[in-house]
Amino acid sequence: MYATTRLGKTLAASALNLLRLAGHRITRWPRRGLVAAGLAGLLGWQLIVAGPALAKAGNLDPTFGTGGKVTTALGIFDGAQALAVQTDGKLVAAGSAFTGTNMNFALARYNPDGTLDTSFGTGGTVTTNMCVGYDLQQVRGLVTQGTKLVAAGSAFTGSSWDFAVARYRSSSALDNSFGTGGKVTTDFAANSDTANALALQADGKVVAAGSSNAGSYDHFALARYVG
């Protein structure tokens, strides 16, 4: 479940800082404003949108969802941690969703009016089990790569937490040309590794950045993948 609220022209700098401190990820939606994504309680994730310049600051935008708001259920204990805007103006939110047995990677794609894009996944959403048999997986970084989407985060692989990266086609199907069946896990120190951000290089390579714990301390960790 995610709750989406569209505000006015901009969010005040102090409000943005509070959202960042609360763990929200903030990105720019061309021609529409700023979008913040994060956890909204135990049962959903939240998108907060700062709307177009003609809207009065703080007003809900009635052209988005129902009266400026939309909620969508994936499962329970859902949380959005990353956002990306496609070149066609569609918005993709990514995070995790508990599907009954596993906490999996989860993505949802929205049309500019806030409706789910039903050409994506099942009714606009998709969940991916990165490591069969283990139930702790979450997306923290998301980038577009042409018409494809690359999501990165962490997955428990049985003995340790590792970087986890998945690449999706426009339809939401995993891209079998990437990794094994569209998925890759990367171990740094056989303990606790988490990817928190993604960047796409001009040559098409994807860089994931996060942390790796080899025992007592966390350290910067980066991994680059051939695109």
pLDDT averaged over every residue in the chain:
81
The full set of domain ranges for the chain reads 2-225
Query: Residue 134's pLDDT is what?
Result: 61
What CATH number does the domain located at 2-225 have?
Answer: 2.115.10
- 157-188 pLDDT, tens digit per residue, is 888 889 999 999 999 999 999 999 999 999 99
Q: Residue 11's pLDDT is what?
A: 41
pTM given for the model: 0.77
Assess whether pLDDT exceeds 80 at residue 18: no
Which of 80, 96, 8 lies closest to 46 in space, CA to CA?
Answer: 80
Q: pLDDT tens-digit profile of 29-78?
A: 665 555 656 555 445 565 656 555 556 788 888 887 888 787 778 888 88
